[in-house]
Amino acid sequence: MNHLLIAPLLLPLFCACLLLCGGLGQSASRTLSLLATLALLPLSACLLAQAASGQVQFYALGNWQPPFGIILVLDRLSALMLLANAVLASFALIYALHGDDARGRHFHALFQFQVLGLNGAFLTGDLFNLFVFFEILLIASYALLLHGGGAGRVRAGLHYVVLNLVGSAFFLIAVGVLYGISGTLNMADMAQRVAHLSAEQAPLVRAAALLLLVVFGLKAALLPLYFWLPRAYAEASAPVAALFSIMTKVGIYSILRVYTLIFGAQAGELANLAQDWLWPLALLGIVAGSLGALAASTLQGLLAYLVVLSAGTLMAALAIGTQAALGAALYYLLHSTWVAGGLFLLADLIARQRGDKGGELVQGPALLQPHLLGALFFLGAIAVAGLPPLSGFIGKVLLLQALPTGWAAVALWSVVLLSGLVTLVALSRAGSTLFWRVGRSVLGNAERDPVRLFATIGLLACAPLMVACAKPLLAYAQAAAAQLLDGELYRQAILAGGGA
């Protein structure tokens, strides 16, 4: 058994426990948290290399073999998500170490629990434990959202907590119904049993599956369940907002995993259950995200709506459901996660040099580093708007090419291109306000911050880096999509022990 598979869970778990119970000082806590987070980079790279072979591996906790025990599963998709999380968390934590972590208690322990929940959600092969890891990351995110205090964060946090508690209750109900009918929680085993449901059982399973889709859509900020996101992301501190940019991807990953494996093409009467729902909601989500960005009054709010837009774009790829579309979606997922995280950090750097104007899109004082911050904003804006030659352009082009000709293609091309234009207008307006419509003097308390700047550049540099590495990245993404659509390979690896 490959014990390396459980390391992405044990590392943040033990680190969080030490930070809570060890009585460490600030310097020791920062060092321990940073080392644990940076260690995830080579670890996730190693697991990615293992998954690239195409073999589906699993780790049976307590040596209880599936379908009876709790298992962790490593395939190309889960390995890719681990890497995305490790890169994002590393740069977000480096940014936080320069003062943001000291604005409240237990920041580093909560950060590690958040990483634990994210990694667990990507690795679990058990539907109930997907719920457990959802709860771990959500409980940590409740406290991280409120980190630093403030009336705005409390209001945003209240909405965020209430909605996610309702979502968690629905999740548990849906899992209970599926377990009651199928008699299993192992996703591979459940997929086999769902394919052979009786006519009496199918309607109840369909209802539970659609309830799960509502839960995952809430996490993924799918229209009309996205309204909690803009305020929560805009009010969170910069490193927390950056880490939250992968939170919607957990919902998207869950839809991708559950509705291709359990309710995919081989699910009999319930085959491709989510496709008809995802397509119109995805297109409307893209429209809502772009219009929200255009109407935003703060830079952070604008970026939050761009997260909604990216979620809609990914959902459109999931609705198409072909290997080409899913491969494009995985490439675009990496791009949107890292670039959005970098832009949230950049927005905070800009706000720190504008005094009480902060991220408001109104005339303010001159920036201390206008050329450097302006160049970074220009880079991020091109990438997130999907203009050539950066990664956002490649992802969108591949997605548009994946759809065969017809009315669906006309709808997607129209929505994606028009939303790109609206996004470009919104970002241009924000850039001109922040960098051109400024006073003549710089605030006396404005200062350069090389540590925060390094973390920001590190994430935004992923956009040109993904272009430079586009060929191997796209090859891996297409292979991951093919493996994801081959549900029989996953089931045989888990249930027949082929991946052990």
Instruction: Tell the residue number behind the tokens 């040099």, with chain if given.
Output: 353
Please give the model's pTM, rounded to 2 decimal places.
0.94
With b meaning 16 or more CB within 10 Å and e meaning fewer, what string describes 208-219?
A: bbebbbbbbbbb
Distance CA 98, CA 107 (A): 13
Encoding tokens for residue 410? 């006309």
Sequential pLDDT tens for the chain (500 residues): 678 999 999 999 999 999 988 778 889 999 999 999 999 999 999 999 999 998 999 999 888 888 888 899 999 999 999 999 999 999 999 999 988 888 878 899 999 999 999 999 999 999 999 999 999 999 999 999 888 777 778 887 888 888 889 999 999 999 999 999 989 999 999 998 988 888 888 899 999 999 999 999 999 988 888 888 888 898 889 999 999 999 989 999 999 999 999 988 887 788 788 888 888 899 999 999 999 999 999 999 999 999 999 999 999 999 988 899 999 999 999 999 999 999 999 999 999 888 888 888 888 888 888 899 999 999 999 999 988 899 999 999 999 888 877 788 888 889 999 999 999 999 999 999 998 887 777 776 667 888 999 999 999 999 999 999 999 999 999 999 999 998 888 888 888 754 33
Q: Do the beta carbons of residue 215 and residue 170 sit within 8 Å?
A: yes
Residue with tokens 């191997």: 472
d(CA 106, CA 96): 13
Extract the tokens encoding 305.
């709506």
403: left (phi > 0), else alpha (psi -120 to 50), else beta? beta
- Which of 489, 125, 124, 474 has its CA nearest to residue 329? 474
CB-facing half-sphere around the CA of 235: CA atoms within 13 A: 24
Q: Which two tokens stand for residue 58?
A: 């699993």
CA–CA gap between residue 256 and residue 311 (Å, rounded): 13
User: 74: how many CB neighbours lie within 10 A of its CB?
Assistant: 25
Alpha-helical segments (H) within 321-406:
323-352, 370-385, 391-401
Closest C-alpha to 72, from 13, 9, 28, 18: 9
CA 173 to each of CA 123, 135, 162: distance values in angstroms, whole numbers, following the listed order: 22, 14, 17
What tokens appear for 107 in the block? 């920041």
Query: What span, in angstroms and rounded, lies between the C-alpha atoms of 298 and 391?
Result: 25
What does the alpha-carbon distance between residue 41 and residue 37 come to, in Å, rounded to a whole number? Answer: 8
376-396 in b/e form (b: 16+ CB < 10 A) is bbebbbbbbbbeeebbbbbbb
* Phi, psi angles (nearest 5°) of residue 59: -120, 120
Q: Is 237 helix (H, G, I), strand (E, B) or coil?
A: coil
Peptide bond into 389 cis (omega under 30): yes
Neighbours of 154 (CB within 10 A): 12
Measure the CA–CA gap between 499 and 484, rounded to whole angstroms: 15
Tokens at residue 125, please?
């092969």
- Residue 446 has a pLDDT of 67
Q: Rounded to 10 degrees, what is the CA torsion of 395, 397, 403, 409?
A: 120
Give the per-residue pLDDT at 102: 84
